Amino acid sequence: MFDSTTRTLVVVGAQWGDEGKGKLVDVLAERADWVVRYQGGANAGHTVHIGEVSFVLHQIPSGILHPGVRCAIGNGVVLDPETLFHEIDELVTDGIDVEGRLYVSERAHLVLPYHKLVDAESAASKAIGTTGRGIGPAYEDKIARRGVRVLDLRHPERMRELVERGAAHANAQLATFGSAKRVDVEQTLAMLAGLAPRLLPLAEDVGLCIHRALKQGAAVLLEGAQGSMLDVDHGTYPFVTSSSTTSSGAAVGVGIAPTAIDAVLGVVKAYTTRVGNGPLPTEIPGELGEEVRRLGNEFGATTGRARRCGWFDAVVVRYATRVNGLTGLAMTKLDVLDTLDRIALCVGYEVDGELYTEFPGDLTMLDRAVPKYEWFEGWQQHTGDARTMEDLPPAARRYLDRIQDLVEAPIAFVSVGTRRDQIIGVTP
C-alpha cells in the first residue's frame, strides 16, 4: 500500500483486538523504512509465523523481523522495561539483529512493578477482564502526572520523587482493596537503576526522528495494538483498554501531525472475537462457538485465555470505518471458515422491536440487542493455497463482496493462513 501518494500508513484493529495485525504489519514492513508502535503496552500480542518459527511480539514492532527496517516505540506506549529486554534477548537468540534498529521514545511512560501489583489486586480490573499487566494503572499515573518516563532515568533524584509518589498512591489503593501487600520503593528504584544503562541508549525523540524521516521521503508504518472497539473513548466502555486504539491516537502516540497520515488500513477477522468480559452481540453459542474457537486457535498470545467467538459484525466494522477513516480493509483467517456449511453475517441489531444499523454507545441497548443476520452457504473448500481472488471459491467471494458493501471500505488484503505467503493482495 506504499506508493508515491502513501508514505505514512496506520494499521489498526477494527474489531475487539486479536485481528491479525502482526501478520499484516510483517507483510507491509517489507516495503517500509520505519515501523512505530503508538499505544498500548505489553498487553498486546502480535504473532508472526516465518516458516516453521513463530514470533510473539508484545512491545517491539513486527517490522523488527525485516533486516534494515528501523523500529520505534512511541510516546503513547506504556513500556514494561523488563518485558522489553526479555523480548529483545529472545529475538537475538532466534538470530534477529536488533542492534541499532530499535528506538524508544524518551517520553514513553514506564510500567513499574507496583502498577502490576495494583492491577492484580483490583477487583474492578478483574471484572472488566484486563490482562493484569499494569497497563491501566500506568496510564492512570500518566494522566495524574506522577508517571515515570524513560527520560526520568537520567535524573535519579527526580526519579525517586516520582516513584515515591506513585508508590504512595499504589499503597493507598492496595489498602482500599483490603490487600496486605505494599510497594517496596527501594526495590523499585534498584530495578530501574539496573535497567537504565541498557534502556537509556535506546531513548530518542521518536517524534522528531519520524518527522525527519518523512521529510526525506521515508515510508512509515504506524502500528496499533488491541482494536477499535477497545478504544477508551469510542469502544464498549467500560470494557475497554486505557488508550486510544483508533487511528486518531497514532499521531498523538508517535509525535507527528495528523496531516502526515496518508492512509489507514483496518484489520478484521472473517468472524469476530473478543477476550474477557463485555458486549459481543454476535457471540456464537454452544458447540459451534467451540468449533470456531478450535478451528481458529482462538487463545490469547499474551494471556493464553480462550477468546469468545462470534459471527462477522458489519455494524461494528462500519462504525470502525467511520471513526478511523479506513481507506482499506485487510481480512484475516478466511480459511477458518472453510469447513462450515452455513455462515452468518450481522447486518443490524433489533432492540425493543426497532432495527438499528449504527453501533450504539449505550451498553444497555447492546444487552437487549438481537442480531439480524444474512446467511451464506459455506464454500467447504480449502482456501489456504489461494493467491488471487479468482482462486477463492465463488461462495467465499460473495461473502467478501457483501462485507465490503456493508462496511463501506474496500478489501485490500485477504489472509488465508498463518504463513507470510498465505495472503492475497486485492487489485482495486
Residues 114 and 173 in one domain: yes
Residues 228 and 356 in one domain: no
Note whether residue 117 is domain-resident.
Answer: yes
Note whether residue 207 is domain-resident.
Answer: yes
Note whether residue 1 is domain-resident.
Answer: no
Note whether residue 72 is domain-resident.
Answer: yes
> What confidence score (pLDDT) does residue 52 get?
64
- Concerning whether 205 is annotated as a catalytic residue, the answer is no
Amino acid (one-letter) located at 105: S
β partners of residue 274: 308
CA 424 to CA 213: how far, in whole Å? 30
Residues 79 and 133 in one domain: no
| 85 CB burial (10 A radius; 0-12, 13-18, 19+) | middle
Rg over CA atoms, the chain: 21
CATH label of the domain that carries residue 163 = 1.10.300.10
Please state the domain count of the chain. Answer: 3
Residues 364 and 280 in one domain: yes
Note whether residue 17 is domain-resident.
Answer: yes
Q: Of all helices (H) and strands (E), which one includes residue 27? A: helix 21-29
Residues 320 and 411 in one domain: yes
- The low-confidence residues of the chain, meaning pLDDT below 70, are 44-46, 49-53, 123-131, 301-303, 428
C-alpha cell at 68: 534494515
> What confidence score (pLDDT) does residue 26 get?
87
Residues 209 and 244 in one domain: yes
Residues 167 and 148 in one domain: yes
Note whether residue 419 is domain-resident.
Answer: yes
Q: Which of 265, 280, 312 finishes a domain?
A: 265
Residues 77 and 209 in one domain: yes
> What confidence score (pLDDT) does residue 220 get?
98
CA nearest 42: which of 243, 206, 311? 243
> What confidence score (pLDDT) does residue 1 get?
75
> What confidence score (pLDDT) does residue 300 get?
73
Annotated active-site residue in 58, 109, 115, 142: 142
Q: Which of 250, 265, 280 finishes a domain?
A: 265
**First and final CA of the chain: distance in angstroms?**
11
Report the binding-site residues for Mg(2+).
18, 45
CA nearest 237: which of 364, 332, 90, 344? 364
Report the binding-site residues for substrate.
301-307
> What confidence score (pLDDT) does residue 50 get?
67
For the CA atoms of 292, 295, 296, 301, what is the dihedral angle to 10 degrees?
Answer: 110
Residues 117 and 168 in one domain: yes
Note whether residue 2 is domain-resident.
Answer: no
Q: Which of 199, 215, 246 finishes a domain?
A: 199
DSSP string spanning 156-200?
HHHHHHHHHHHHHHHHHHHHHHT------HHHHHHHHHHHHHHHG
How many CB atoms neighbour CB 416 within 10 A?
26
- Concerning whether 46 is annotated as a catalytic residue, the answer is yes
Annotated active-site residue in 26, 46, 115, 338: 46
CA nearest 413: which of 270, 299, 312? 270
Residues 185 and 115 in one domain: yes
Instruction: Find the helix packing angle between 185-199 and 81-93, rounded to 10°.
Output: 40
Q: Which residue has the cell 483490603?
A: 178
CATH label of the domain that carries residue 14 = 3.40.440.10
C-alpha cell at 189: 528504584
Note whether residue 3 is domain-resident.
Answer: no
How many CB atoms neighbour CB 365 within 10 A?
16
Residues 334 and 392 in one domain: yes
CATH label of the domain that carries residue 397 = 3.90.170.10
- Domain that includes residue 170, residue range: 109-199
Report the binding-site residues.
17-23, 43-47, 131, 145, 226, 241, 301-307, 333-335, 415-417
Using CA of residue 303, residue 148, residue 150, residue 114, what is the dihedral sign? negative
CA nearest 231: which of 252, 261, 214, 216? 252
The distance from CA 78 to its chain's CA centroid, rounded to whole angstroms, is: 13
Reported for 318-322, long-range contacts at CB under 8 A and 24+ positions apart, including other chains, are: 318/357, 318/358, 318/359, 318/406, 318/407, 318/408, 319/228, 319/358, 319/359, 320/12, 320/14, 320/15, 320/227, 320/228, 320/229, 320/246, 320/266, 320/268, 320/407, 321/14, 321/266, 321/407, 321/408, 321/409
Residues 382 and 291 in one domain: yes
Report the binding-site residues for IMP.
18-21, 43-46, 131, 145, 226, 241, 305
> What confidence score (pLDDT) does residue 212 get?
97
